[in-house]
Amino acid sequence: MRTPAGRIAAVGLVATLGMGCATTGSGAGAGGAVAAQERALAEFDTRRAVIFDGPTGAPITFDALADRVASADVVLIGEIHGQPRGLACAAALFETLVGRAPSSAALSLEFFDRHQQTDLDDYLSGVTDEPAFRDATGRTAENYPPGHRAMVLAALDAGVPVIAANAPRRYVRLARTDGYDRLRNLSEAQRALFSVPDSLTGGGYRDRFYEQMAGMTGHGGPDPESADEPETEDERAERQAVAARLIESYYRGQNLWDATMADSIARALSAGRRPVVQAVGRFHVEHDGGLVQRLRALAPGAEVLVVVMVDETAEAPADDDAVRDDVIVFVGEPAH
């Protein structure tokens, strides 16, 4: 039985909005998740990867995908945060890439904010060691999973830059609470840490965001059925208006993330880096997501390859997968 795509996107969206793209849980469960990710990283077999070309549905090999990655200008890897086989596959792709083109590639990560760039650079250049790097950036086993660490280590070994691509959470929060004009009026040094979009992304991306947010507990106001008295028309209208304003505020934050990451990638392209591999939550990129649209607007001539991880197993993609951008990688646990 296939897992509905919307359910997967909702899980990724909750993580993105509620916990700043956290990768695992906390406590004892987090330790188990990290152990599972370490096992997946050690055991991942590229020969058994289940990969399909998105537009045609034709199966392709890992090596064929690696060839496409190496020839692209930008590779957007839409991951499912914390999914062990997906993180292992992304790490294997990047390690294969830097083995082929170490002099020109770059790694761009959603999971580091721009104010952490110096900390990354200090680590990559040997100014600090890994414990100091982890301390400076607040990296723990939970928010720096083995797959991401493997990518950073591959970049370190190959001398490839790693880009802290995202906007710091404090500015995303300010975008939600005060709006974009508040951000535009900050100092030049502050504005360097984010990129304010001129407008919000429309179309299917906005529709999917609103649909997912509207279905999340707590975003529609009190449950009318649980109230002591029936809800009046005016009360319903007010509740819906409050919910709409709340969702709109979160969408401003989402767009600030997209705009900042797209700008970070475009800057790397301008500096001569190719391919730039961006690891990011899949909601940002699947189905022509907001990051994809903003990047194409900033770098219209760039060849962008979108690789979407799907937490399922399949021998062939279903009809709804045919619109999942360029490449689909099924990373669900195979039956034994």
| Angstrom distance (rounded) from CA 154 to CA 158 | 6
pLDDT at 167 over 90: yes
Taken in order of first residue, the domains within the chain and their CATH numbers are 5-330 (3.40.50.11550)
**Which residues lie below 8 Å from residue 153, measured CB to CB, with a gap of 6+?**
none
pLDDT band at 325 (very low <50, low <70, confident <90, very high): confident
Can you give the pLDDT at residue 335?
Answer: 61
What pLDDT score was predicted for residue 8?
29
Report residue 186: phi and psi, to 5°: -80, 175
pTM: 0.87
Q: What is the pLDDT of residues 107-124, one digit of tens each?
A: 999 999 999 999 999 999
pLDDT value for 244: 86
Write the single-letter amino acid at 296. Answer: R
User: Confidence band (pLDDT; 50, 70, 90) for 217?
Assistant: very low
Percent of the chain with pLDDT over 70: 85
Fill in the DSSP letter of residue 143. T
- Mean pLDDT of the residues in the chain: 87
Q: What is the pLDDT of residue 230?
A: 81
Query: Are residues 316 and 303 in contact, defined by beta-carbon separation less than 8 angstroms?
Result: no
Give me the pLDDT at residue 170, please: 98
